[in-house]
Chains A and B, each alone.
Chain A
């Protein structure tokens, strides 16, 4: 089993890796003939029978829940050794085996959060109608979450039919008219 996760780039690793799937690994662990006292087997037996552990507590790691910033900082920076000690302390409280308590940290990314310092590596790029490329987070849509309302000024009027011979040509014509009217409006209010 250790070889299954000890990636070393060798053909032997690939060979072993391609032998493993969900059922085969679970069956191997659950093989009670060779694993009579196996904690791994006990856990996988619980999964097989849906006798799952329960969430004993949930602590949201932000200031609205943890008022003391120092405590919050310590919780956010729990290391592996801290977690082992915390699991043991919880197990003592719950009167169970230390390995039966599991402390995990998870995070779910907020898609509308705009990091003021770092650019988002999961950024999606959009080609605007004027040809400029902008990040999703820079566009005045829902994602930016910085506008109370999306106010618009629509200038409506007759326009000659566009020649349907080319999408690109039509696009350029619309762009030209848009620019002309936009300029007119800005001059008007100036």
Chain B
């Protein structure tokens, strides 16, 4: 199947995957203030108090997720799965933007968001629904910087991949499923930066075993049977990473302290941000002039 090759304009050196190449449009996304902020949100909050090397950010994980999403797309194309250039662009952008809604201290802020969101205005969150994913969709949809770099159609398709729908789609599975590019990246990356060996698994075998499977008009990203052992490695890698890193005794202490501190900050009405930051209104003006 003929596809127009992506035109890469820049590459990032990454300790996990080597060179990660991005297109002009992706570079424009990366250069927005919204995306650059991810570099100031640590993937594992204050895990460096336990594992001094664990200071990596959501910025790197987002690039890594884009890279692995592309590798899965490439593997599916080798099996002659039809993937258009636009599909590829949307999957890559969705992978790049999937974490854009994360709040300060990453997952720790989710607990506060779950406790403080306004159900009267946005409705009750469904079971297992994460408020930060709704925020991600809002940012993709409403943030003025993205008006310039993403078309309305692109925003709509990226939102659909991040939000999901009742109809399963293998393109969404690449970005958001039980064995997606994000999970594969964060296990390898968190293990690397924490300096532990628990997050490792046979990435090459898993990507090789990825297949598109169609059932009843829906499409899924599934794994061929000979990839089962590599998938077992992922399952156990996640378990061991959880036991040894994510739920480490001292990390639980620091997380509890951050949550309590933030709750006090809310109750004590600490507020206000430096005035040098442009407002969304100012950004809107700058994008329209």
Residue of A nearest to B220 (CB): A125
The interface residues of chain B lying within 8 Å CB-to-CB of A89 are none
Q: How far is the CA of A21 from the CA of B57 in the complex (A)?
A: 11
Contact assessment for B249 and A55 in the assembled complex, using a CB-CB cutoff below 8 Å: yes
Residue of B nearest to A48 (CB): B46
A residues engaging B (CB < 8 A)? 1-25, 28-29, 34-35, 38-40, 43-44, 46-47, 50, 52-55, 58, 99, 102, 104, 106, 108-111, 121-129, 133, 136, 139, 141-143
Number of interface residues of B (CB under 8 A): 79
The interface residues of chain B lying within 8 Å CB-to-CB of A123 are 178
Contact assessment for A38 and B40 in the assembled complex, using a CB-CB cutoff below 8 Å: no
| B7 → A minimal CB distance (Å) | 29
The interface residues of chain A lying within 8 Å CB-to-CB of B255 are 104
| Set A20, A109, A133, A143: member contacting B103, Cβ < 8 A | A20
Residue of A nearest to B112 (CB): A5
Q: How far is the CA of A53 from the CA of B263 in the complex (A)?
A: 17
B280 at the interface (CB under 8 A from A): yes
Contact assessment for A55 and B253 in the assembled complex, using a CB-CB cutoff below 8 Å: yes
With A35-B270, A47-B261 as known contacts, state yes or no: A126 contacts B223, CB within 8 Å: yes
Binary CB contact string for chain B from 82 to 125 against chain A (1 if under 8 A, 0 otherwise)? 00000000000000000001011100010011011110011000
**A-B interface pairs (CB < 8 A), number:** 205
B228 at the interface (CB under 8 A from A): yes
| B167 → A minimal CB distance (Å) | 16
**Given A5-B103, A104-B252, A126-B227, 17 new contacts (CB under 8 A):** A1-B270, A2-B266, A5-B109, A12-B280, A14-B135, A14-B280, A15-B279, A15-B280, A17-B101, A25-B104, A29-B262, A40-B268, A43-B264, A52-B254, A53-B253, A104-B255, A124-B178
The interface residues of chain B lying within 8 Å CB-to-CB of A102 are 256-257, 260
| Set B117, B229, B242, B279: member contacting A6, Cβ < 8 A | B117
| B228 → A minimal CB distance (Å) | 6
With A5-B112, A22-B105 as known contacts, state yes or no: A47 contacts B247, CB within 8 Å: no
Contact assessment for B271 and A2 in the assembled complex, using a CB-CB cutoff below 8 Å: yes
Contact assessment for A46 and B257 in the assembled complex, using a CB-CB cutoff below 8 Å: yes
The interface residues of chain A lying within 8 Å CB-to-CB of B231 are 124, 126, 136
| A147 → B minimal CB distance (Å) | 14
Binary CB contact string for chain B from 230 to 270 against chain A (1 if under 8 A, 0 otherwise)? 01100110110011000101101111111011111110111
Contact assessment for B270 and A14 in the assembled complex, using a CB-CB cutoff below 8 Å: no
